[in-house]
Amino acid sequence: MGADKVISVVFEEEKKKDDYINIIEVIMSAIGILSHELSNYEMAGSDDKILIRTKHMSLLDGSQIDYLYNLGYKKGVKELNRI
């Protein structure tokens, strides 16, 4: 599409393994793994990646969008010189 450089921003949740209480958490974890693998596939064409680790964020939690936006912006500014 004419871009000189493609940068991917990836949000990953820091979560302990074997931290599942019920079947819903197991299903959410499986969806998270699927999403992670999909984003790895999509990032294959990226020139660089900015990784942002979050804690206690659900894949489907839209209430944290402003927080995640600001977190991504701050990390992007910090990584600007490296990229």
CA atoms of 29 and 31, how far apart (whole Å): 5
Nearest to 7 by CA among 37, 52, 38: 52
What is the helix (H) or strand (E) element at residue 13, kind and residue range?
A: strand 7-14
pTM of the model: 0.60
Domain positions in the chain: 7-79
CA atoms of 79 and 75, how far apart (whole Å): 6
**Does the pLDDT value for residue 20 go beyond 70?**
no
pLDDT in tens, 41-64: 878 888 888 888 887 776 567 888
3-state secondary structure at position 37: helix
